[in-house]
Structure formats: C-alpha cells, structure tokens
Chains A and B, each alone.
Chain A
Amino acid sequence: MRCIIIDDEVSARAIVNELCEVTPELEVVAQFPNAVEALKFLNQHTVDVIFLDIHMPFLTGVDFIQTLKNPPRVVFTTSDTDFAIEAYAYEFIVDYLVKPITRDRFLKTIAKLKNAMQPVLAGDTSLEMPELPTEDHLYINIDRRLIKLKYQDILLIEAKGDYIEIKTVDTMHRVHSTLKKIKEKLPESLFMQIHRSYIINYTKIIDIQDNSVLIERNVIPISRSNRPSLMQRLNLL
C-alpha cells in the first residue's frame, strides 16, 4: 500500500514514518507538513492510504478530505478525540489514531486497512464500509466529551433544527447532528424512521394508535409514507 503522511509536526511524521517502515505492507512515498502541499502531490500521483493530522495551518485535515474527488483510504492521526464521531461519517476513513500512537494500536490500523483494501486487491473497486468502532453502541460528542450510548437504551431520536435529541429511558442528549447522519450509524434491526423528524427504536413501542406510536410517555407521529414499513416490521397476530 502506497501511503503519504500529512502532519505539521516533524516529530509526529517521524513516528508514523517509523511505524510504517517496519510494516512490510506499507510504503511511504511522501511526507508533507501541510495539506496544501499534499493536494498538489495528489493531483499528479495516486496513493492507497493517507495518514492525516487534523489540526494544521492553512487547511485542516477535515477540510482537506472534503476537497478530495477520489479519496484513498484515510487514517486520522490526531491528539484530539473531538472529531471521532464525524470521522466515521466518511466511508473512506478507516481509522482514527489518537497520539501518541502506540505500536500495538498501529498494528490494528494495518489490519483494518488490509481489510478495507481487500475488495480493491480482488479487483472490486467499490468501497467497503469502514469497520465501525462498536457493535452494540455508539458514542456521541457533547461538550467535547464522548458519551457511550447503548443502542438498546435509546428510545427515539427527534430532529430539532441543527440538533437532534436522543431520548433514553433515563435522560435526553442534545447533539449537533442530523437524523440522516445518526440513521447511518444505527442498526436497521432496531431503528426505523417513522416521520421526517423522528427515528424510533421500534422494539420500545408500547402501542400504536391511528397515526402515532407510544414509546414510554412519548407520542410520536407516523407519517403516511412510513406507516406500511412500520406495520411490516410488527409481529402482528
């Protein structure tokens, strides 16, 4: 796998480079102190993997990936955990390494990269979804804290302008995100959108009446278009 390293800290580039050097699958073809120089390089060269810092002058790592037309696999390398949730919104982001990066953690990244590259190596150019960080839960970012939420504890999610409100049995979390984004993270086996503004955990439904469902004490409207798919999911007698 041909890779490049983008980081404004020389020491950070040196560490990633050293970790790559002892990994036979990786070949570091270039290193850049900023994303602008990397963009120029990528206009003329193709690579398989980018190890990318987030906080950099001129152009941040997050802004950089949005400029890529045909992005290769990206691994974020950062001292900041704040972007972890957003990072997984991009299907080409394979991993998120928090500095200082340990050898063991880097090996896990390589395994993820190999897994993600497999369809390409086999001739299938379609992108594989990155391995998600969890199976039965997700993390939400609130006031720079990552809070773990088990899928089973979530009752419903309501869109409120630029925010979503995630209601659990005990509490409610307000997160700057969209229903579309969180829907991609939630398992279809438990969740479904029943209205423009609502996603519900359909296993938590207490009853359904007319065009609404009752979950705990919340009455949630069902849109006409979503009603048939909800009814199909129910184990009706």
Chain B
Amino acid sequence: MLETPNLNYIKEIAGGNEEFEKKFLTIIQHEFPKEKEDYLKLLNGKELEEAAKVVHKIKHKLGILSMNASYKLAIRYEEDLKYGDEKLGKDFLKVLETVEDFILKIA
C-alpha cells in the first residue's frame, strides 16, 4: 500500500500564511504534471540519464509532500536510471499517480 501525501511540510513552511500556502499549491499543481510528462517522454524515448534528472526534481516534490518512503525510492531509482536500470519504474509510476490524484483532490 502506497503512503498518502500530506501538506504538513507546506503548512510548516507557510507558518499560517494562507496566501503562501495557496500560491505554493498552485505552483505544485502546474509544475508536477509537467515534470511527470517530461519524465514519461524521456523514459519512453530511452533517454534514461535525462529521465534521472527529472526524477531528481520530482524527488524534491515527494519530500515536500512528506512521502518519505517514496522519496527514498526516488533516490534509488534516480541512481539506477543513470546506470540504465529501469526496474523500479513501475513502482515509481504508482507514486506519480498517487501524487497526481492528490494534487487533483486539493485543486
């Protein structure tokens, strides 16, 4: 069972600043789908080193959404991709879908 994203970190950074919280969520809602799309394109095109760079960015989002296990998975997957190994791709895709669902819910 995949862990559930949450907004604890964002709330900590916002420190009660609701305007920042809203603005930040809007940024994530724009940035994440683009990164997911870029990642899938690069993966399908077998440009694995470039895909690793996008995983690196997505990894930060997983940290922001307090998804610690997924963050660790992304660290391993980023390294694996640099060496041409995509076997963690399926698990990572599930993480991406979970984040996407979450982002849609909070929209």
A and B: partners?
A: yes
Which of A14-22, A127-135, A186-194, A197-205 forms contacts with chain B?
A: A14-22
A12 an interface residue at 8 Å Cβ cutoff?
yes
- CB of B60 within 8 A of CB of A99, answer yes
Is the beta-carbon distance between B56 and A100 smaller than 8 angstroms? no
* Chain B 34-71 near chain A by CB (<8 Å), digits 1 or 0: 00000000000000000001001101110110000000
Question: How far is A161 from B53 in the complex, measured between Cα atoms in Å?
Answer: 31
> Is there a chain B Cβ closer than 8 Å to A79's Cβ?
yes
Which of A10, A55, A80, A99 is the one whose CB lies under 8 Å from B27?
A10
A209 surroundings in chain B (CB, below 8 A): none
**Which residues of B lie under 8 Å from residue A11 when comparing CB positions?**
24, 27-28, 31, 60-61, 64
Chain A residues, Cβ within 8 Å of B30: 10
**B56 / chain A contacts, CB cutoff of 8 Å:** 55, 79-80
Contact (Cβ within 8 A) B14 A18: yes
Query: CB distance B20 to A102 under 8 Å?
Result: no
Task: Say yes or no: is A148 at the interface (Cβ < 8 Å to chain B).
Answer: no
- CB pair A102–B59 under 8 Å, yes or no, is no
CB distance from A148 to the nearest CB of B (A): 19
* Across-interface contacts of A14 in B (CB, < 8 A): 20, 23-24, 27
Tell me whether B79 is interfacial, beta carbon within 8 Å.
Answer: yes
Known contacts A14-B27, A18-B13, A22-B15; decide if A100 and B20 are in contact (CB<8 Å): no
Q: Evaluate whether A9 and B57 lie within 8 angstroms (CB atoms) in the complex, with A18-B14, A102-B12 already known.
A: yes
Task: Please name all residues of chain B whose beta carbon is closer than 8 Å to the beta carbon of A180 when the two chains form the complex.
Answer: none
A103 at the interface (CB under 8 A from B): yes
The closest CB in chain A to the CB of B21 belongs to: A18
Interchain CA distance A144-B9 in the complex, whole Å: 27
Contacts of B59 in A (CB 8 A): 79
Minimum CB–CB distance for A14 against chain B, Å = 5
Give A55 to B63 CA distance when docked, in angstroms: 17
Decide if A55 touches B53 in the complex (CB within 8 Å): yes
Residues of chain A at the chain B interface (Cβ within 8 Å)? 8-12, 14-15, 18-19, 22, 55, 79-80, 99-100, 102-103, 144
Task: Supply 8 further A-B pairs (C-beta < 8 A) apart from A10-B27, A99-B60, A100-B64.
Answer: A8-B57, A11-B64, A12-B60, A15-B24, A18-B14, A19-B13, A55-B53, A103-B15
